[in-house]
Amino acid sequence: MHVASTRVTCQGFVEQTCYQVRERPDQPWVLLYEEIRGFQHEAGFEYTIRVLQTRVQDPPADGSSLEFRLLAVVRKVAVPPA
């Protein structure tokens, strides 16, 4: 999974901050509303990470049915300010 250098405000059940992610560098960024357990995002860096995605048994009504857990940071690259 590729993670953009900034998180953005998004609207789920409540207003929150989402990751911008994509599977491949040639794809557009999409919003990931869930947290990635174990991942410490630092603004100004793009990441390539490996994650374990699992289904949540009986998720809460306002929660996701997916859980993401960091397995490894493969790459962390500084992105120059715009």
How do residues 5-14 score in pLDDT, each as one tens digit?
999 999 877 8
Q: What is the pLDDT of residue 37?
A: 96
Extract the runs of DSSP E, i.e. beta strands, from 13-61. Answer: 15-22, 30-32, 36-37, 45-55
For 47, the token pair is: 């990441």
pLDDT at 27: 96
pLDDT computed for residue 12 by the predictor? 74
Amino acid found at 13: F
Look-up: residue for tokens 């994650």? 51
> What are the pLDDT digits (tens) for 24-75?
999 999 999 999 999 999 999 999 999 999 988 876 666 677 889 999 999 9
What's the sign of the alpha-carbon dihedral 17, 10, 51, 72?
Answer: negative
